[in-house]
A and B are shown apart, each in its own frame.
Chain A
Amino acid sequence: MRRAEFVSRFLILVGMALAIGAPILFWSRTPLIHVSTAEAGGWSPDTLRAKVGKPLELHLISDDVVHGFAVGQMEMEGVNVLPGKVTEVTLKFDKPGTYTFFCTRWCGVNHWRMRGTIEVSGPSSEPEPVSVPQYVTLRIDIDAPHDSPVTPENRPSAIHGQQLKATLDISKFNNSDFYRTHSPYQVFEELNSTPLTDSEKWDVVSYIWQSHTTSEALANGKKLFAQNCAACHGEGGGGNGVFADKIAQTGEVSKQTMTGSEEMQMQKPADFTNPTRMLGASPVLLQGKILRGGMGTGMPMWGSIFTEQQIWDLIAYLYSFQFEYEK
């Protein structure tokens, strides 16, 4: 019986060693990016390296809930990262620089904080021109109140505005730079020289706003809003999204001083259905808020995530909470 005993002991020891060793070996040698909610650590690792022209293969797995992965400034569709399942993503970069990747499926009130960076190295052709946002060059204080002194009695109709504009010369409003740098209220004021009633003036304003966007852009803006903004700002833009109360609550914990004289507080998300606030805001001011974020108010900074076109599309959609555009 001695040989049988020896073989048995050998099998047992080998079996146990494999059962212990194999999982440890494979686990330590499988490069995975573990993804969990921001409170639980977010992306792990959160900084990646790549080379220009060389494909970067990523293996992502969620450790808790459904997340998504996309790289900013690329209009990339989010790739789902599912709990317990490995997702493969291959990226290729043409230009060196620092890219931001982010979570694309809402996973809690701190979902937007789930960001990481990819350092792409390589020979650069020419230095990238630094684009300064217009709110900076125009010295607009995007944190100052921007209430419109006058608000329309009824929801302005762009169709009606279109009919009215035939009688007016609104060529200067067709200039996109003019549109971007003026709030609807300011354009309303500019129309004071015309014989229109207040209600009619607002209709013209809404037509002007509609003329600076397309239905595709509005559809794109709507999609971006649903995916990125509605969770806090509400599906109807009313500042009452599912996380609205949580943000205000966490305000007690986080306060940040800006320029020494103002304290920014976590607050309820902006209500885009409020005409006083919205009609006093120019597109460039809204762009500033979206790019820079809220400095401790809970509003994320989207500068590294959205392309410029995406932001203009989103802004065009925001105004559609105020104006009745033609379908």
Chain B
Amino acid sequence: MAKIELTRNSFIKNILKDRRPQLAVFIVMLVGYIFAIMAGLVGTPVGSHNFSIVFVWIAWWAVLILVAVPFFGRGWCAVCPIPLPGEWLQRGAVLALPDKKPKWLNLRVPKMFRNIWLQNISFLLLALFSSVLLTTPNITGIVLAGMLFAAVGLSTVFERRAFCRYLCPVSGFIGLYSQTAPIELRIKDKQVCANCKAKPCYNGSSAGYGCPWDVFPGGLTQNTYCGLCMECIRTCPHDNIAVNIRPFSADLAKPSTRMDEAFKAFIMLGSAMIYAGVLLGPWGTLKDAAYNVGSSAWLVYALVFLTFIFAILPGFFTLGMLKTKSIVPLKKRFASLSTALIPLGLMFWVAFSLSFVLTNASYILAALSDPLGLGWNLFGTATATWQPMLTIFLAPAQTFALVGGLIWSARTTQKAAQEVKVSPIPVHVYSFVATSLMLWLLL
């Protein structure tokens, strides 16, 4: 299947280039985000009836993992409100074009942090506290507020969207999984970029700002770090940047060999499996351990969590590679083959999320009418009772997602194995065992 260039359509191109529709979406998102913070802080402490829990961990999460990431890659990042106040401060404007020197420090993020290790850590921190985070409105409110303040703070010190690129826990996995998406932003003609001296797409110009994601659009070969903010489309004087529809996981044809990304794949795979077991399983002791943060049971849980992700999962993965001799170094083989876990992990998260989203989506109706638990009934749905939805479809949908993910992952394995000249069979076995485990945990 060839690529279809969406920006060939002038309506689409103009919508993307025009700052105003994007800003309208931004304002709605930002107001909603702040309302979610306030709901968490002053609303009812009962999570299922608080806007912050229901709209962040059920509604937004469902849209993110079931629609935005699989079909639009970093589509959420394109509309996320977190970096906006900081970015507006940096630019000294909301809509206007750059006409003055930036007044903030605009430091370059130090080299040792220019990777996704901080994002791996921030995601794990949230994951270890997830039982409390997902169920307690004021904790969600504080975390959301914390992310907003961190983004603003980083924007006053560092250049571009430092929070998004290097710290945001969500950005870490959206970036990794965006490689599977059927949408991309790429240049049209390499020669045009080669001849372009100023590179305003990266450096900015009077027409627009340099890439906030610290990416050189001319060199984009993968979706991982492009936040789809459309700034480069506005700045490029040669109209050389396009948004395309392309086959799923086209980026995995040339697998990345970065270790931080490899471990991100294991972090996501492992946490999906642990969440499935702890949150959706029938084992009460695990839930107690996960919820009672600070207790010795929780410490054991945290240790097991981290051991599973950093030792057991990658350990077994590497075991399959140890026997085979290859001219390609082990590290490179490890990183390259671990890209097979990207579609696998994504579908693990889809299957896991389907369960609690379909079970609890009915809370959205009540939370819409009475977001703070004050007795409102804005849309007449405040008395809507909890009722699981589409339950007959849940098990088949989960099987479809997991088996589909296995096929998808296996195809990636074939390609990656070819690249590093090893047999794909050990990874096939690994993916099959992991999938069977996840099927057992969820079904």
Contacts and interface: CB of A to CB of B under 8 A. Distances in A.
Answer yes or no: A and B touching, Cβ < 8 Å: yes
A86 interface: yes
A9 B94 contact: yes
A4 B27 contact: no
A20 B85 CA distance: 15
A15 B46 contact: no
Given A1-B97, A23-B35, A27-B43, A8 B23 contact: yes
Contact of B39 (A23, A32, A85): A23
A15 B94 CA distance: 14
Interface in B42-73: 42-46, 48-50
Interface in B11-54: 20, 23, 27, 30-32, 34-35, 38-39, 42-46, 48-50
Interface in A128-182: none
A61 B44 contact: yes
Q: Which of A4, A64, A85 is packed against the most chain B CB atoms within 10 Å?
A: A85
Nearest to A21: B38
A8 B20 CA distance: 9
A23 B38 contact: yes
Contacts of A85: 49, 366, 370, 373, 382-383
Contacts of B49: 83-85
B90 to A, nearest CB: 15
B43 A23 contact: yes
A76 interface: no
A15 B20 CA distance: 16
Interface in A66-82: none
A64 B45 contact: yes
A147 B417 CA distance: 84
Given A23-B42, A85-B49, A12 B94 contact: yes
A28 to B, nearest CB: 8
B152 to A, nearest CB: 13
A14 B48 CA distance: 29
B46 A16 contact: no
A105 interface: no
Given A15-B27, A15-B31, A27 B93 contact: no
A254 to B, nearest CB: 25
A2 B43 CA distance: 38
B96 interface: yes
Interface residues of A, number: 29
Contacts, number: 84
Contacts of B32: 19
Contact of B44 (A12, A15, A20, A84): A84
A231 to B, nearest CB: 21
A78 B366 CA distance: 24
Given A8-B23, A16-B30, A23-B39, A1 B46 contact: no
A9 B92 CA distance: 11
A113 interface: no
B34 A16 contact: yes
Contacts of B375: 30, 32, 59, 61, 86, 88
Contacts of B366: 84-85
A209 B133 CA distance: 58
Contact of A16 (B23, B31, B50, B383): B31
A5 B34 CA distance: 22
B95 A11 contact: no
Given A30-B375, A84-B373, A86-B373, A20 B34 contact: yes
Contacts of B94: 5, 8-9, 12
A147 to B, nearest CB: 42
B46 A19 contact: no
B194 interface: no
Interface string A15-48: 1101110011011001010000000000000000
A281 to B, nearest CB: 41
A63 interface: yes
B372 interface: yes
B95 A63 contact: no
Given A12-B30, A63-B45, A64-B45, A5 B93 contact: yes
Contacts of A11: 27
A23 B375 CA distance: 13
Contacts of A9: 94
Contacts of A32: 374-375
A282 interface: no
Nearest to A28: B42
A62 interface: yes
Contacts of B39: 23
B46 to A, nearest CB: 3
Contact of B372 (A27, A83, A88): A27
Nearest to B48: A84
A160 B341 CA distance: 79
A15 B95 contact: no
A63 B20 contact: no
B38 A20 contact: yes
A5 B43 contact: no
A62 B372 CA distance: 13
A1 B95 contact: yes
A59 B373 CA distance: 11
A320 B48 CA distance: 43
Given A1-B95, A32-B375, A84 B46 contact: yes
B221 to A, nearest CB: 35
B96 A5 contact: yes
Contacts of A5: 93-96
B374 A30 contact: yes
Nearest to B383: A85
A255 to B, nearest CB: 29
8 contacts: A8-B23, A12-B88, A59-B375, A61-B44, A84-B44, A84-B46, A85-B383, A86-B373
Given A26-B374, A27-B372, A86-B374, 16 more contacts: A2-B96, A4-B95, A15-B30, A16-B30, A18-B31, A20-B38, A23-B39, A27-B374, A30-B374, A61-B373, A63-B46, A83-B48, A83-B49, A84-B49, A84-B373, A85-B366
Interface of A: 1-2, 4-5, 8-9, 11-12, 15-16, 18-20, 23-24, 26-27, 30, 32, 59, 61-64, 83-86, 88
